[in-house]
Amino acid sequence: MPFLTIGHRGVMGVEPENTLRSFVRADREGMDAIELDLHLSKDGALVVMHDADVGRTTDGEGPIADLTLDELRGLDAGSGERVPVFEEVLEAVRAPIQAEIKDAAAARALAEVLRRRDATGRVEVISFHDAALAEIAKLLPGVRTGLVAQYYGLDVVDRAKAVGAGLLVLDITRLTLELVGLAHAAGLKVIGWVVNTPEHLKLARGLGLDGGTTDFPEIKNAARYTA
């Protein structure tokens, strides 16, 4: 089975995270899929950013939920890049997208865009929030979803099945062969994050993972030559 290499917030190790520049670079570098994070602006726009507050990644301050899209557009998200809206990313790249719902309130807006753009084939929805995955599955029957977890036990497999997810995206430093075996037996794919070093790549292959989420484009090439 091919090992999927997913670009984390684009390729955040070499470009400003969650910007069009980062996504286009990830696409050009041949990543198998591109991961991004979603929030809602004050006026309901589906914006791409990791934190709930703009302070760390832009020259602004305050919660995204208190800023309008116009205000967010005025910020510098790194190297002069603007905060993108989700639809811009859909237009800018050809690779499949893993869209992570950070703010559970974004599930409805995401479902609306995916339906209107007929984009469920190329977008997989992931989240730490079980309820957000259940909601989007209800709004968009057939959408592919994945449960993300950093701290977890074997019960994460049942949690994923309970919301109809087909994928687990798990912190690689806590993964075990037992969990991967259980997940595979339950029909779930398992992606490890983050896979940023040759050691983590070796671990990912040793654990029999289906792929890894990485900050660096080189991992894509390295993954081709590890089995």
Residue ranges binding Ca ion (CB under 5 A): 37, 100
Contact 46, 64 (CB under 8 A): no
Q: Is 200 a catalytic residue?
A: no
- Choosing from 8, 39, 129, 200, the catalytic residue is 8
According to the binding rule CB under 6 A, does residue 35 interact with ligand G3P? yes
Q: What totals of helices (H) and strands (E) does the chain contain, helices first?
A: 9, 9
Residue whose CB is less far from Ca ion, 182 or 190:
190
Residue whose CB is less far from ligand G3P, 8 or 144:
8
3-state helix, strand, coil in the chain (%, to 5): 35, 20, 45
Q: What is the DSSP letter of 216?
A: -
Mapping DSSP onto H, E and C, the string for 153-195 reads: CCCHHHHHHHCCCCEEEEEHHHCCHHHHHHHHHCCCEEEEECC
Q: Is 50 a catalytic residue?
A: yes
According to the binding rule CB under 6 A, does residue 15 interact with ligand G3P? no
145-149 and 123-127 as β-strands: parallel, antiparallel, unpaired?
Answer: parallel
Give the 3-state secondary structure of residue 121.
coil
Decide which of Ca ion, ligand G3P, none touches 169; Cβ closer than 5 to 8 Å per partner kind: ligand G3P
Give the 3-state secondary structure of residue 52.
coil
Min CB(194)–Ca ion separation in Å: 10
According to the binding rule CB under 6 A, does residue 132 interact with ligand G3P? no
According to the binding rule CB under 6 A, does residue 124 interact with ligand G3P? no
Tell me which H or E stretch contains 82: none
Letter for the amino acid at 56? R
Site for ligand G3P in 147-186 (CB under 6 A): 148, 169
According to the binding rule CB under 6 A, does residue 37 interact with ligand G3P? yes
- Choosing from 39, 50, 184, 200, the catalytic residue is 50
Question: What's the maximum distance between 2 C-alpha atoms anywhere in the chain?
Answer: 48
**CA–CA–CA angle 60, 63, 66 (5° rounding):** 100
Min CB(163)–ligand G3P separation in Å: 16
Residue whose CB is less far from ligand G3P, 23 or 193:
193
According to the binding rule CB under 6 A, does residue 193 interact with ligand G3P? yes
Residues labelled catalytic: 8, 50
| Site residues for ligand G3P per CB under 6 A | 8, 35, 37, 50, 100, 148, 169, 193, 213
